[in-house]
Chain A
Amino acid sequence: MSASYDTVVIGAGHNGLVTAAYLAKAGQKVLVLEQREVVGGAAATEEIFPGFKVDTGAHRIGGLSGAVVKDLALAGHGLELLEAEVTAFLPVIEGTPLTLWRDPRKTADAIRKISPPDADAWVPFTELVGKAASFLEAAWTSTPPDVTGTDLGDLMATAKLGMKLRRFGKRDMVEIMRILPMSVYELLGDWFESDLVKGAIAASAVSGLCQGPMGAGTVYTLLHHHVGAGQGVIRPTRRVRGGIGRLSEALAAACKAAGVEVRTGASVERIMVEGRTAVGVVVDGAEVRAQRVVSSADPRRTFFELMDPTEMAPEFARKVGNIRYRGVCAKVHLALSGLPDFACRPGEGNHLAGVISISPSLEYIERAFDAAKYGRVSERPYLEVSIASLADPSVTPNGKHLMSIVFQYAPYALQDGEWDDAARAKLGDVAIETLAEYAPNVASLVEAQHVLTPLDLEREYGLAEGNVYHGEMTLDQLLFMRPVPGASRYRAPTAGLYLCGAGTHPGGGVTGVPGFNAAREILKD
């Protein structure tokens, strides 16, 4: 079989679908090839326990691009976003727990019971985060400039960003510049005294990162997770009604409406290169030719598995080989017979509606990270827990609850042993034990448990080293460095080959922005 397309997109992750939809809307004949049986990649909802709709990969969406939602009419295709009034609950073993609200003044009131000065600092702090995140948002949607080049458009784009920064006024501009490369530990030291308040914020800054809060650059990650969060919101927790898979389904519907052909269960074996130009792909033994190939897979998979490394210059291959992934997150899914009861705040209530963050202090998170440095799983991990069934009862059978836990740090590369069944089970136990220190009834509620280690994430979703962001979100792997210099503008050095996954600027999270930017660049050529 050898049909010909304008564009073949590898992978029906959300970014791949976004690119496909935009290209098809522009009149191209587009084919999307997905290895799995469902679309969505890591933004998938699956019934791993009977009757439970589990967001197995990502379980909340980050700064999902408003433009994408609008342009692709996702609401019309069934997308409904949920946002709880409570963003996060920080339980403690001793003392007063903390609830973070969408309304910063409500949060400040909550903090006042813990530390009056921190309560005063809260609103100004959220304002700074909001401004800095809005600056990032402007950088997100533009293609990274070729800094050493002479392209006038690039210079203008850079100048525009500079002007955006200046518009914040002198004081804020300096402050944003100052904090970007900082560690969240240093930043929070400037603002707060309470361990719990610091732990509440810092957790977001290390999310998915093989760094502790003392690592420089973690402020950047914090801001990354707050793009599009809304003024005053810390630790945004937007979910999708019916599970995040609904987003992917909505995107797939938008694709179909635009005329995209989406084929699932179609495993791309390799990208065909002729005369150093990508001319199509081989899928399940058959050649599919196209004007161009767009890969939403991560750079390692794209360049080293779908292509022969000998197809590229050694200097480029060396750079691709140097990309750091270092997945540190595992996922634990629990089918529960009831709701957890936290000793520090007994009973049910609004506080469980956002995420429950086991991050009682900066030091707690940093110690959890220490283990990962030496290739060990944290004995007391940072946990980000969501009970999707609270806001959206449709995802579980009657009266049951579904708990999704992001377990950090579980390093992909273990110093001793490997990710076998025993290690997987142990990790689940550690998660439950940790949680039980705060909510003793948890262990007795568990009806079923399902664990995805970084290795599972790699195998299941094709995420290199289980990194959900397709490459660490560190300062040296952002902007014109993402994924590597020479391919940072969505174009690979091989003619006709493009990238549109989270491995490109602006990076990971369910944002759709890399896919959106890639489509724009492809249409320019």
Chain B
Amino acid sequence: MSASRYDAIIVGGGHNGLVTAAYLAMAGKKVLVLEKRHVLGGAAVTEEINPGFKYSVCSYVVSLLRPEIIRDLELPKHGLQILPLESTFTPLPNGDYLARWGDHDQTRREIYRHSPRDADAYDDFGKLMYQLAVAVKPILAMVPPDPTSMSPKDLMGFLRLGKHFRGLGHEQFHALHKLMTMSSADYLDEWFETEALKATMSSSGIIGTFLGPRSPGTAYVLLHHYMGEIDGAMRAWGFAKGGTGSVSESIASAARGHGAEIMTEAGVAEVTVKNGRTTGVVLDDGREYSSSVVVSGLDPKRTFLDLVDAKELPGDFVRDIERFKIRGSSGKVNLSLSELPNFTAKPGVGPLHKGAVSISPSIDYLERAYDEAKYGDFSSRPYMDIIMPSMIDAGMAPPGKHVMSIFVQYAPSDLRGGWNETKREAFGDAVVDTLAQYAPNLPDAILHRQVLTPWDIDRDMGLTDGNIFHGELSLHQLFCMRPTVGYADYTTPLRGYYQAGSGTHPGGGITGASGRLAALEILKGALR
């Protein structure tokens, strides 16, 4: 037993765990962060797998990092620099393309080229999404109340929520209802006629889910694209200088600045429990650290089924966690390139290379990619969201060379027959082949290729089944049901044990919101 005692131990140095650590440390608590890997950040890491080329191995864009976290932790002082990522370019099989640029008039003109009506609708749609983002924001920022509880705190929470919704007015309330329940394809069908536009917009609704664009429940993620705007941070969609790992590094630096202790290569084997409360942790190498508060930044499966002895938890709760849906559906391919891809639809090097490239020519295309995954195959023609970080931040690759980050869907975690090295590379080949249809020079430009399947993401990054959101963001796993009713307020059935990962409300993406809300709850609870 180590002599030093901590006010709190954070299991997992992912971005949420680091945010929790930083907030607790800022409040004067003695905090220890334990990270299994040699780098901090979890899925938000930058690694130089191929010398000279830096990969944002998993997460690759910073979209929704909460501005209050940037403010409170003074992240720019700790090196955070977000470079804007303004455009989305969708090459089409017929040799044309659809682009959405940073400038409103330019985008309007481009959409107009495909459909004059859609150009009008795009503006109206933007306004509605803005309104709904305003409506949803307070919900994302609140600690979910427990619907089964009769405590004044929870009842007040629901009363506030009811009042909030009633205050929205008919139009917005109904629009929100539709957004929460519809498929992105159906929802966008009500607005637009251009296939490529619908497909590219709907792709934001399927990222990280095991759903196709025609599956109900995929529409509401459309909102996410507009969430950034309401914090006065127009174009929040961006790329962190130095790669996504620098986001984690800046949060870690802030945490250290407030006195937190952070250890890497310190994997936690077990959270120790005595009489229904946590007493500390035991590391893989046998070292022990004691603390009456342990916070897990891992996903709910690992948090409750791996770190803790199931006997210590109520049976119903264990069952809830067991059936928490966490299928992984996406993979990642990182490439080192000798030259930039030359897209047939818009030859040469241009502004498009500084933005995102989306392989999403039609709803049917995405849906077919999903169909394959439904039955246990990876998509032979997958959906891809691509950025070329070296075009935004020259430091990511040696001069004249480039790196390319390709988010790929679908790659089911439960691949028929299981994943292995051969299948991983076959998946990588499918990605390169598909891309070569739009940019024929790509295969010959590849200097190095890193392929991550859900299998790799689970094994290397510690995300169960490679699910990038720590659990699917479907309606029945949101808000007061994330990860399960009664424990959506970052507490657990064990006293002193807290959860702070994306598996809690509001979850998903590099937002830091879960980590921050967890810290605030801990400071009101066990560490008051």
Contacts and interface: CB of A to CB of B under 8 A. Distances in A.
B147 A475 contact: no
B147 A177 contact: yes
A215 B481 CA distance: 19
Contacts of A214: 215, 374
A181 B371 contact: no
A370 interface: yes
Contact of B170 (A177, A211, A485): A485
B234 to A, nearest CB: 29
Contacts of A367: 375
Contact of B174 (A370, A374, A485): A485
A252 B475 CA distance: 43
B198 to A, nearest CB: 14
Nearest to B174: A485
Interface stretch (B97-105, B176-184, B339-347, B392-400): B176-184
Greatest chain B CB density within 10 A among A171, A174, A211, A374 is at A174
Given A173-B148, A363-B375, A178 B211 contact: no
A59 to B, nearest CB: 28
A69 B165 CA distance: 38
Contacts, number: 92
Interface string B309-335: 000000010000001010000000000
Contact of B316 (A171, A189, A373): A171
A466 interface: no
Nearest to A210: B214
Contacts of B215: 183, 214-216
Interface residues on A, range: 35 or more
**Which of A147, A149, A190, A476 gathers most chain B CB within 10 Å?**
A476
Given A174-B148, A322-B190, A148 B217 contact: no
B47 interface: no
A82 B190 CA distance: 43
Contacts of B211: 216
B166 interface: yes
B165 A147 contact: yes
B32 to A, nearest CB: 35
Interface string A180-194: 111100100110000
A170 interface: yes
Given A181-B181, A190-B323, A148 B216 contact: no
Nearest to A178: B476
A179 B216 contact: no
B329 to A, nearest CB: 12
Interface string A485-502: 110000000000000000
A248 B170 CA distance: 38
Interface in B146-195: 147-148, 165-170, 173-174, 177-178, 181-183, 186, 190
A170 B374 CA distance: 34
Contact of B216 (A177, A189, A190, A476): A476
B364 interface: yes
B474 A182 contact: yes
A497 to B, nearest CB: 19
A178 to B, nearest CB: 5
B392 to A, nearest CB: 36
Interface in B354-391: 364, 367, 371, 374-375
Contacts of A324: 186
A475 B167 CA distance: 22
B43 interface: no
A174 B485 contact: yes
Given A174-B147, A177-B147, A366-B374, A476 B474 contact: no
A474 interface: yes
- Which of A216, A370, A481 is packed against the most chain B CB atoms within 10 Å? A216
Given A148-B169, A173-B147, A474 B216 contact: yes
Given A177-B147, A181-B217, A481-B174, A475 B186 contact: no
B147 A370 contact: no
Nearest to A486: B170
A181 B475 contact: yes
Given A148-B166, A181-B476, A216-B475, A373 B174 contact: no
Contacts of A476: 177-178, 181-182, 186, 216
Interface string A222-258: 0000000000000000000000000000000000000
A181 B474 contact: yes
17 contacts: A173-B148, A174-B486, A178-B476, A178-B485, A181-B217, A181-B475, A181-B476, A215-B214, A216-B181, A216-B216, A217-B217, A324-B186, A363-B375, A367-B375, A476-B216, A480-B174, A481-B177
* Across the A-B interface, the 8 shortest Cβ-Cβ residue pairs: A475-B181, A181-B475, A216-B217, A216-B216, A476-B181, A485-B174, A170-B148, A174-B485
Given A180-B476, A373-B364, 18 more contacts: A147-B173, A148-B169, A174-B485, A177-B485, A178-B476, A181-B181, A186-B474, A211-B216, A216-B216, A216-B217, A217-B181, A363-B375, A373-B367, A374-B364, A474-B216, A476-B182, A476-B186, A476-B216
